[in-house]
Structure 1
Amino acid sequence: MISQSISPQVIHLVAGGCGGTVGAVITCPLEVVKTRLQSSKASIKFLPTPNINADGAVTHVSRRSLGVFQSLKTICIEEGGSALFRGLGPNLVGIAPSRAIYFGAYASAKNFLNTKLEPESSMVHLLSAASGGFISSTCTNPIWLIKTRLQLEHRNGKRYTNTWRAIKTVYSHEGLRGFYRGVTASYVGISETMIHFVIYERIKKFLREQRAYNSDLLSPKDFLTFMGAAATSKSIAATIAYPHEVARTRLREEGTKYRTFFQTLSTVLREEGFRGCYGGLVAHLARQIPNTAIVLVVYELVVYSLNKL
C-alpha cells in the first residue's frame, strides 16, 4: 500500500493544507466583512440614517450597525465585487501552511501525549490543540498581518495595492517587529482552538459510538457527522473567545492607539462598551461555521483517502 510509505505526519500536513485552502476560497467574502466590522476604522461599520420629523425636515442623523448582507452589498456597490476577495492572495499563501502546520503539530502532539496520558482524553486533546495553535500562530503571524492590512483598505486612498507592496511598506515603516503585531492576541486565541477541539473530539466520539462507527468504511453520513460536530464545537468556542479576534484586528491596524492586548481590550470596553468587544461576531460565525465544517470534512476525507491508498 502507498500509504505505508507515507508518514502519518505528512498525511496530516497534506490534509490540513487541502482543507484550509478550500475553506479560505469559499468563505473569503465573509472574512473581509468580519475584518472590516472588527476594525476601529471600518468604512462599512455603520450606516447613516436620517431622522425626519412630521414636517419632512431632518432632525439629526443616527448611525445603525450594518448587518452581514448589507455589508456585502455596500462593499460591492462602493468598491466592486473584487473587493470581497481582498487579501485572498496572502490568505491562500498562508492558509495551506498554517493549517498544515497546525494539523501536523496537533497530530504529532496527540500521538506523543497518548503514550504519556490517558489515550484520547480531554487533556490530550487540550494540550495537542494548544501545541498546534502556538506553533502555527508563531510561524504565520506575518502573513495574517498583511492579509488584515489589505482587507482594511478602502478603494480610496490605497497604500498597498498588492501583497508585495504591503510587505515592503510594513518593513520600511515598522521593521521586522511590525510583522508580529497582534501575535499576543493570537496566543490568547489558542484558548478558542483548545475549546473547539475538545468539544469536537467529544461530539465525534459520542456520535461514533451511537452509530457503531466503522473507521474502515466511511459513508456520506459519517462526513455529515464530522461537519455537524465541527460546526457545533466551533460556534461554542468562537463565541466564548471572540474578544481576542477584535483585539487582534485592532492591533494589526496601521498607526493606531492600540499597543498591547490588554490595553486594547480595556480601550475598546471603555470607548465602545461590551458590545464593541463583539463587533463583527455574526459575520465571524457566518464565516467560521461553514469554513470550519469544510476544513475538517476535507481534512478527514483526505486523511481517509491517503490511508486507503
Structure 2
Amino acid sequence: MPRRSTALHLVAGGFAGTAGAILTCPLEVVKTRLQSSSLALRPFCPPAVQLQGMSGTLIRPGLPSIGVLELLRTILEKEGVRSLFRGLGPNLVGVAPSRAIYFAVYSGAKEKLNTVFVPESKKVHMLSAACAGITSSTLTNPIWLVKTRMQLEARAKCERHSSALQCAMRVYNTEGLRGFYRGITASYAGVSETVIHFVIYEALKQRLREHQLFVSPALIFSPSSPDFFGLMAAAAVSKTCASCIAYPHEVIRTRLREEGSRYRSLVQTLQLVAREEGPLALYRGLLPHLFRQIPHAAIIMVTYELVVHLATKV
C-alpha cells in the first residue's frame, strides 16, 4: 500500500503540473521579462531613460511603468507569437517531475509527521510543504534555469532562437555544473510561498468539510457540485495570499539566473535591486504572476484531487 500510495501521488502530481502549465506559458514569459534586469529588457525600453548605475551598468528607473499589455504587444510585434511560448519545452519536461516529486514528498512527509505531531495540524502541513518544496527545488533547478534563460532571450522574428539543448550546453560550457544551480537560494526562500499556500489550502479544505460542502465524494468533481467550486476557490485564495507575501523571491531568482548577471547572492541581489530601482521593483511582474498563478494553482490542485479520487475508486 505505501508503494501504491507513493506512485499514486507521483502520477497525480505529474498530471496536475502538466495540465496547469500549458495554457499559462505566455503569462509566464511576460512575468519573467518584467522581473528581469534592464539588460534583458533593453529592446523594449527607450534609451532616454538610461542612467548610470552604481556598478557602472545601465539601469532604467522607468521600467516599472511598462505595463503587461504593452510588453505583450511589443513581444508580439518584434518577436512573434512563438516567443510567448519560449521555455515551454523545459517547462513541460520539468513540470511533471517537479509536481510529482512535490506531491509525493508532501504526502509522504505528512503521513509520517501525523504520527509525531497532532494529525492534520498546521505544523504538519507547514513542515510537509517545506520538505516538499526544498526537495523539488533542488532536483529540478537546472530545468528551470534553462527555461528562464530561454524566456529572457529577446530576438527579432527573423532571428533563430536557441533550443533548450543549446541553452543548456552554453550554460555548461561557460559556467560549469554550478551554473545550473544559480538562483537555488532564492528557490529555497520561495519555499515559504508553498508553505503558506498549503497551510491556507488545507485550512480552507477542512473548513469546507466541517460545513459539509463535501456532500458526497462521488460528486466532488461534478461541475454543478459546490465541492468542485469550493476546491477551486480554496486553491485560488491560498495561492493568491502566498504569492503576494512571498513574491520578491521570484524577482531575485530571475535576476540570479540571468546570463552574465552581476547578481551574485540572495542578499546582495535584494540590496542591489532595492537600492538602484526602489523597493517596488521587487514586485515587478506581480500582476501577470497572479493572472497566471491563480488559475494555474486551481487547475493543479483540482486535477491532483481528481486523479487521487479516481485512483482510489479503482
Q: TM-score, normalised by structure 1?
A: 0.90
**Number of the residue aligned with 1:231:** 236
Shift of 1:68: 2.0
**Aligned to 1:259, which of 261, 264, 273?**
264
Cα distance in 1, alignment partners of residues 236 and 18 from structure 2: 18
Checking the alignment, whether the CA contact within 8 Å between 2:64 and 2:284 is kept in structure 1 is no
2:291 counterpart of 1:286: yes
The runs of 5 or more residues in structure 1 that have no matched partner are 51-61
Cα distance in 2, alignment partners of residues 19 and 68 from structure 1: 27
**Number of the residue aligned with 2:276:** 271
2:143 counterpart of 1:143: yes
Listed one character per residue, the Cα deviations across residues 181-228 of structure 1 (whole Å, up to 9, x for unaligned) are 000000000001001100000011112211352463233321211110
**Aligned to 1:43, which of 41, 44, 52?**
41
Q: Which segment is superposed worse, 186-195 or 209-218?
A: 209-218
Checking the alignment, whether the CA contact within 8 Å between 1:19 and 1:296 is kept in structure 2 is yes
**Number of the residue aligned with 1:105:** 105
Secondary structure of the corresponding residue to residue 176 of structure 2 = helix
**Number of the residue aligned with 1:197:** 198
CA 180–173 in structure 1, closer or farther in 2 if over 3 Å, else same: same
Q: Which segment is superposed worse, 227-236 or 62-71?
A: 62-71
**Aligned to 1:19, which of 2, 16, 21?**
16
Query: In the TM superposition, what are the counterparts of 1:164-203 in structure 2 within 5 Å?
Result: 164-203=165-204
Cα distance in 2, alignment partners of residues 24 and 212 from structure 1: 29
The runs of 5 or more residues in structure 2 that have no matched partner are 49-61
Checking the alignment, whether the CA contact within 8 Å between 2:232 and 2:298 is kept in structure 1 is yes
Amino acid at match of 1:31: E
Cα distance in 2, alignment partners of residues 141 and 252 from structure 1: 10
Query: In the TM superposition, what are the counterparts of 1:51-130 in structure 2 within 5 Å?
Result: 65-130=65-130
Secondary structure of the corresponding residue to residue 116 of structure 1 = coil
Runs of at least 4 residues of structure 1 off by over 4 A?
Answer: 44-50, 156-160
Amino acid at match of 1:118: V
Cα distance in 2, alignment partners of residues 63 and 102 from structure 1: 35
Checking the alignment, whether the CA contact within 8 Å between 1:49 and 1:64 is kept in structure 2 is no
CA 48–306 in structure 1, closer or farther in 2 if over 3 Å, else same: same
**Number of the residue aligned with 1:54:** none
Secondary structure of the corresponding residue to residue 217 of structure 1 = helix
Shift of 1:72: 1.9
Q: Which segment is superposed worse, 162-171 or 66-75?
A: 66-75
Q: TM-score, normalised by structure 2?
A: 0.89
Secondary structure of the corresponding residue to residue 213 of structure 1 = coil
Amino acid at match of 1:203: L
Cα distance in 1, alignment partners of residues 161 and 170 from structure 2: 7
Listed one character per residue, the Cα deviations across residues 69-104 of structure 1 (whole Å, up to 9, x for unaligned) are 332222111111111000000000000000000000
Cα distance in 1, alignment partners of residues 219 and 278 from structure 2: 48
Cα distance in 2, alignment partners of residues 45 and 194 from structure 1: 37
Cα distance in 2, alignment partners of residues 206 and 270 from structure 1: 43
Amino acid at match of 1:260: S
Amino acid at match of 1:182: G
**Number of the residue aligned with 2:52:** none
Checking the alignment, whether the CA contact within 8 Å between 2:236 and 2:297 is kept in structure 1 is yes
**Number of the residue aligned with 2:250:** 245
Amino acid at match of 2:296: N
Amino acid at match of 2:147: K
Shift of 1:160: 6.1
CA 6–305 in structure 1, closer or farther in 2 if over 3 Å, else same: farther
Cα distance in 1, alignment partners of residues 276 and 124 from structure 2: 40
Q: How much is the aligned-residue C-alpha RMSD, in angstroms?
A: 2.1
Cα distance in 2, alignment partners of residues 180 and 171 from structure 1: 11
Checking the alignment, whether the CA contact within 8 Å between 1:94 and 1:144 is kept in structure 2 is yes
Checking the alignment, whether the CA contact within 8 Å between 2:44 and 2:71 is kept in structure 1 is no
CA 269–294 in structure 1, closer or farther in 2 if over 3 Å, else same: same
Checking the alignment, whether the CA contact within 8 Å between 1:47 and 1:65 is kept in structure 2 is no
Checking the alignment, whether the CA contact within 8 Å between 1:16 and 1:96 is kept in structure 2 is yes
